[in-house]
Amino acid sequence: MNELILQNEIKSKIYSVRGKEVMLDSDLAELYEVETRTLNQAVKRNIERFPDDFMFQLSKEEYENLKSQFVISSSKKHGGVRKMPYVFTEQGLYMLATVLRSKVATEVNISIIRTFTKIREFPMHYNALARQIMELEKKHNKKFREVFARLDNIVEETQKTDKKIMGFICD
């Protein structure tokens, strides 16, 4: 599977629960190409490697919240569960790499690690960009005000008419 596609798929399966970024056991099993039962059995055989900050079981309320908030499918895969699913934090995912030793698990874990790293780095890049924009605005405040005033005029003019104006008029 293409690395970028896999990272996007992984990113869509990361949820925030109890203030932590986590992944559901069933989603991980699907990525690792094993049954959820198999994944959980491997974890239980090595339970000493999974303290509460690496893995925990969702409460019924947390699970229902995830289902409604993120439109988790209510199909057989996610609905009608007998036991509440387990979720794994980033550290728990690293530990899974030591428990599941298949080629697929290794490739998926590499992608998961890269995905979590990108998620952590995003705010740093965003903050750096925001600082650069603020510095530019300070240096060129008069020009920014002029540009914003022109943009405001364009928006104002388009709101006065039913015609949709595209582009800019150079004077």
Are 89 and 131 contained in the same domain? no
pLDDT (average), residues 110-133: 76
Q: Which are the contacts of 24, defined by CB distance < 8 A and separation ≥ 6? A: 13, 15, 66, 78, 85, 86, 87
Residue 47 lies in a domain: yes
Secondary structure of residue 109 in the 3-state scheme: helix
Are 115 and 131 contained in the same domain? no
Q: Residue 111's domain is classified under what CATH number?
A: 3.10.260
Alpha-carbon span 39 to 16, nearest angstrom: 21
Q: State residue 158's pLDDT score.
A: 73
Our count of domains for the chain comes to: 2
pLDDT tens digits along 37-61? 999 999 999 999 999 999 999 999 9
Q: State residue 66's pLDDT score.
A: 83
Instruction: List beta partners, residue 87.
Output: 24, 56
Strands (E), 33-77: 55-57
Residue 141 domain boundaries: 126-160
CA dihedral angle for residue 139, residue 142, residue 143, residue 144, rounded to 10 degrees: 80
Alpha-carbon span 14 to 24, nearest angstrom: 8
pLDDT classification of 100: cutoffs 50, 70, 90: confident
pLDDT tens digits along 61-99? 999 888 876 655 444 454 556 789 999 998 998 888 888
Do residues 40 and 47 make contact, with C-beta atoms less than 8 angstroms apart? no
* Residues shown for the chain: 171
pLDDT (average), residues 1-19: 78
Are 87 and 138 contained in the same domain? no
Residue 171 lies in a domain: no
Are 79 and 133 contained in the same domain? no
Instruction: List beta partners, residue 14.
Output: 23
Residue 165 lies in a domain: no
